[in-house]
Amino acid sequence: MNLNQLDSFQWLSSIPVTESQKCDPASEKADVVILGAGPAGLVLGNLLHDRGIDCTILERSTRANLETRARAGFLAPNTVRTLDRHGLADGLKRHGEEHGSCEFRTEGGRFRLDYRELGRGEPHTVYPQQALVTDLLARYLDNGGRIRFETEALAVQDADGPEPAVTARGADGRPTRWRARYVAGCDGWRGAARRSLPPGAVRRHHRDHGISWLGLLAEAPPSLDAVGYAVHPRGFAGHMARTPEVTRYYLQCEPGTDPDSWTDERIWTELELRMRAGEYGPLHRGPILERTLIDLRSDVLEPLRHGSLLLAGDAASLISPSAAKGANLAVLEAELLARALIDALAHGDQAGLDAYSAGCLSSIWRAQEFSHWMIRLLHGTPGADGAETLFLDALRDSRLESLRTSRTQQDWFAEHYVGL
């Protein structure tokens, strides 16, 4: 038992015991217990349920919170194909918008890449993640899938045995216990799945890039018909359309910044300055609906399997939002994991589970490499001294110039920007 598991048991033992609770925690069973109802958990749940696999999703949030929580919105072509192949793309086909261009604004001017016409000639589909989650939830529940909202997974025990267990706190505050044949950890990088891994079970690759963004959601129509990347001496600014009425913005800020210390007026003034609105046209203003602090970090666990516990989504790897890969990796991993679990449970074939980690990590590291390249393209280097800053900034400017002028570089960018 590791320390995190011990903490979970101490929490269970600290609950006041009533007459109705003088027994072991309520115990339930499923072939697969899925922790987390984000894109990875919901895609996995739908695919397993469609094939008759007994599964249950444990989700600590309410359904209303899941359906309104704003997250990423750029879906790669392969992600759209995957969802469509499994009948999970009805909403995004009706309401998603194809997007195929981005604009860079720098001290040397601006340039646009129509990446739909470069590389493999494929666009993104813009579809807010909360809308995708709403679709996946509705389909899962309408088809009779089991989910326990407001149920927080606390620990996974016996993952190296034939019957792992999940201890959780139910919606009523009581402890519950789930027995399973497999546990799918789709509950994020701070979730119970990661916390329950015993020391030495995995190798962790971690990098804190030393860069923070304010993640902003504005009730304002997009100001560009492209994704906007502004490289400015005061820091990076980004513009990403979400809907005709709502736009996602990013502002580089000091690590540890309190998002609430930025007023709407300060935000818009800084956005207009960094995006050079005076030169290229004003931004459409509106109320700031959401402000959060985003620390750019990369984090990968290897392998993604420990016995009967398998990781997907942010539990498997955390990637910076600089390249819009997080939700796309989650869908890719969920499909691979579903296929492997179906083979194991329905046919007794373990080959897919044995190959799952290596199959995912190949795509994860390619996505991490491109994300790291984007970070270096859009930012200065934190902690560098004066002379080093000048040198590294000059390298960044050279990368931007190559991207502006070299068709080979543009094709490489387009292929990696939309691909996995």
pLDDT tens digits for range 232-281? 999 999 999 888 899 999 999 999 999 999 999 999 999 999 999 999 99
CA end-to-end distance (rounded Å), the chain:
37
Residue 394 reports pLDDT greater than 80: yes
Write the pLDDT tens digit of every residue in 132-175. Answer: 999 999 999 999 999 999 999 999 999 998 899 999 999 889 99
Confidence at 384, pLDDT banded by 50, 70, 90: low
307 and 291 housed in the same domain: no
The answer to whether the beta carbons of residues 175 and 167 sit under 8 Å apart is yes
Q: Could you tell me the residue range of the domain that residue 223 belongs to?
A: 100-123+208-297+390-418
Average pLDDT over residues 404-416: 97
143 and 198 housed in the same domain: yes
Q: What is the DSSP string of 214-249?
A: EEEEESS--SSSSEEEE--TT--EEEEE-SSS-EEE
150 and 107 housed in the same domain: no
Residue 342 reports pLDDT greater than 50: yes
236 and 114 housed in the same domain: yes
Percentage of the residues of the chain whose pLDDT score is greater than 90: 84
65 and 173 housed in the same domain: yes
- The whole-number pLDDT of residue 26 equals 63
- Report yes or no on 95 lying in a domain: no
Residue 5 reports pLDDT greater than 70: no
Residue 70 reports pLDDT greater than 60: yes
**What residues are labeled active site?**
99, 229, 321, 325, 417
58 and 139 housed in the same domain: yes
352 and 287 housed in the same domain: no
Write the pLDDT tens digit of every residue in 14-36. Answer: 333 333 333 355 679 999 999 99
- Report yes or no on 49 lying in a domain: yes
55 and 155 housed in the same domain: yes
15 and 135 housed in the same domain: yes
- Number of structural domains (the chain) is 2
Average pLDDT, the chain: 91
- Report yes or no on 148 lying in a domain: yes
403 and 365 housed in the same domain: no
Sheet holding 203-218, edge to edge: 109-113, 102-106, 227-230, 237-241, 247-253, 203-218, 288-302, 317-318
Alpha carbon distance 134, 159 (integer Å): 31
The answer to whether the beta carbons of residues 294 and 321 sit under 8 Å apart is yes
331 and 397 housed in the same domain: no
CATH number at residue 9: 3.50.50.60
Which token pair is 30?
A: 């499923």
CATH number at residue 255: 3.30.9.10
Q: What is the pTM of this model?
A: 0.90
- Better pLDDT: 5 or 102: 102
- Report yes or no on 262 lying in a domain: yes
57 and 169 housed in the same domain: yes
